[in-house]
Amino acid sequence: MERFIIKGGKPLKGTIKVKGAKNAALKLLAACLLTDQPWIISNVPQIEDILHLIELLKGIGVEVKRNKDTYTLRAKKIKTTVLDANIARKLKASILLAGLLLVRQGEVVFPQSGGCVIGQRPRDIFIDGFKAFGVKVRQTKQGYHLSAKKLKGAKFVFPIVSVTATEAMILMAVLAQGKTVLKNAACEPEIVCLTQFLNQSGAKIKGAGTPLIEIEGVKRLIGGQCRVIPDRLEAGSFVILGLMTNSPIKVTGLDSEHLDVFWSFLKRVGANLKIAKNSALIKPGSKLKAVNLKTHEYPGFPTDLQAPFTVLMTQAQGLSLIHETIFDGRLFYTDMLNQMGAQVIMCDPHRVMIQGPSKLYGRRLISPDIRAGVALVIAALAAQGESVIENIYQIDRGYERIENRLSKIGADIRRIN
């Protein structure tokens, strides 16, 4: 098992560039199943989740070529409607692939997934959504069996806002017969990126980026080319790293409009930053003060930046309250921050209070999930002494070779077996 050895407390310097967004790339790549024409996606991060998706796509017959960060996919002939259970279980986004196979082949078998470290990840909204399009859903030993002779456009109201369920229903509707209306849809920039590309390829989608999306089904899509948008979550993590280590680093290649609420929180905290359209420069010497934060669906404060922000609050003057509203298991990593010297009290699984500032010390840590994992890397780089981070597979799921990129700005971080 690989782990990171981090010697903290060193100031960082230089420029770090943000890669393409995992949560956009996964969906853009999977959407190749909607056509038999070549589908070219660039700026794809080389991360574990993408590699698993590519394996699943190859497994069902998609031709895949890679040139650096550009993938050319062609779903000319599909050879199976059964998703490899072992890989599909590792990847939450595989349910999207299931929906797409259904559109393409009229049926699909995919495994049931259990809970995961950030809490239960139910699929009830997907199942209700599929049914609204006329899909027959059977639960079998292997998982779910979905089938449909013809998909019919539907009116579907999401009971709660769900990112992947919104994307799954959009992908269902694009080639369905007639009109689809989706209400209470998620508004994430990754959804807008997906729909812009689909529209370029012949789809008729209106309203993406708002809670009301309308789709007129078309007969076919043509292939095309698309560049994945910058990863706003990676960008936010690197900015917090600069603040935590009090380092003049510049984060480039981001889209600052995707982080409006994040910036507004950093302003309230007292962070000294220069934000431009595609970059953010951290100016050392910020006097950080505690604020209360509630995660929220986009455009609110992203749940995926909650862990780095909580780490930042360990260095802010005063008492802060962090309320994680989206997932029910996304605060347990705070126990490890306490082992490092932070003062975090868990009020309930959704809320922690942090008394700051606290000096942090290097410890042996375990990465529970992608985002808490990177938050621990940030804490370790700001801490005094050496930390060992285990289970870094989780970090590799979302961040491309993070140790190489952080080393270039002066971080003392090594990957060892």
Chosen residue from 205, 269, 326, 336 binding ligand EPU by CB under 6 A: 326
The Cα–Cα gap between 6 and 413 comes to 4
Span from 82-90, 114-122, 142-150, 201-209 in contact with ligand EPU (CB under 6 A): 114-122
Q: Does 286 bind ligand EPU (CB under 6 A)?
A: no
Nearest approach, Cβ of residue 125 and ligand EPU (Å): 3
| Structure-token pair, residue 342 | 């932070």
Within 201-303, residue ranges assigned H as helices are 232-244, 260-269
Q: Is the distance from CB of 365 to CB of 323 less than 8 angstroms?
A: no
For ligand EPU, the closer of residues 164 and 314 by Cβ is: 164
Task: Give the closest residue to 310 by CA, choosing from 376, 362, 233, 245.
Answer: 376
β-bridge mates for residue 139, sequence order: 144
Q: How far is the CB of 378 from ligand EPU (least distance, A)?
A: 15
Q: Which of 50, 93, 98, 208 binds ligand EPU (CB under 6 A)?
A: 93
* SS3 track for 165-216: HHHHHHHHHHCCECEEEEECCCCCHHHHHHHHHHHHCCCEEECCCCCCEEEE
Alpha-carbon distance values, 294 to 245, 265, 300, 399 (Å): 24, 11, 9, 25
The stretch near ligand EPU (CB under 6 A) out of 118-126, 248-256, 338-346, 401-409 is: 118-126
Q: How far apart are CA 162 and CA 168, in angstroms?
A: 10
Identity of the residue, 19 or 123, whose beta carbon is nearer to ligand EPU in the bound complex? 123
Name which of residues 371 to 410 contact ligand EPU (CB under 6 A): 371, 398
String marking each residue 26-45 x if it binds ligand EPU according to CB under 6 A? x-------------------
Which amino acid is it at 40?
I
**CA dihedral for 50, 54, 60, 65, sign (positive or negative):** positive
8 A C-beta contact, residue 360 and residue 341: yes
* Residue 290 or 311 having the CB closest to ligand EPU: 311
For residue 34, the 8-state DSSP code is G
Both tokens of 204, joined, read 């008729």
Instruction: Give the side-chain half-sphere CA count within 13 A for 291.
Output: 17
Contact positions with ligand EPU (CB under 6 A) in 125-154: 125-126
* Nearest CA among 166, 265, 232 for reference residue 371: 232
Pick the closer one to ligand EPU by CB: 15 or 210: 210
295 versus 314: smaller Cβ distance to ligand EPU: 295
Structural contact between residues 394 and 368, judged by C-beta atoms closer than 8 angstroms: yes
Quote the least distance from Cβ 73 to ligand EPU, whole Å: 18
From 160-168, 220-228, 309-317, 387-395, give the range in contact with ligand EPU by CB under 6 A. Answer: 160-168
Q: Does 122 bind ligand EPU (CB under 6 A)?
A: yes
Name, in order, each residue with C-beta under 8 angstroms of 67's C-beta and a sequence gap of 6 or more: none
User: Considering beta carbons, is residue 93 or 282 the nearer one to ligand EPU?
Assistant: 93
Tell which one of 35, 94, 113, 162 touches ligand EPU (CB under 6 A): 162
| Residue 169 contacts ligand EPU per CB under 6 A | no
| Token duo for residue 380 | 């370790």
Which two three-digit tokens encode residue 40?
A: 């070219």
Question: Minimum Å distance from CB 366 to ligand EPU?
Answer: 17
Nearest-10 Cα torsion for 365, 366, 367, 372: -50
345 is a site residue for ligand EPU (CB under 6 A): no
123 near ligand EPU, judged by CB under 6 A: yes
Question: Is 160 near ligand EPU (CB under 6 A)?
Answer: yes
Q: How far is the CB of 79 from ligand EPU (least distance, A)?
A: 25
Residues touching ligand EPU, count (CB under 6 A): 24
Cα 44 from chain centre: 13
The one among 15, 115, 124, 267 contacting ligand EPU by CB under 6 A:
124
Q: Establish if 370 lies at the interface with ligand EPU (CB under 6 A).
A: yes
| Residue numbers annotated as active site | 116
304 interacts with ligand EPU by CB under 6 A: yes
Cβ closer to ligand EPU: 153 or 373? 373
Binding of ligand EPU by 254 (CB under 6 A): no
List residues near ligand EPU by CB under 6 A: 22-23, 26, 92-93, 120-126, 160, 162-165, 303-304, 326-327, 370-371, 398
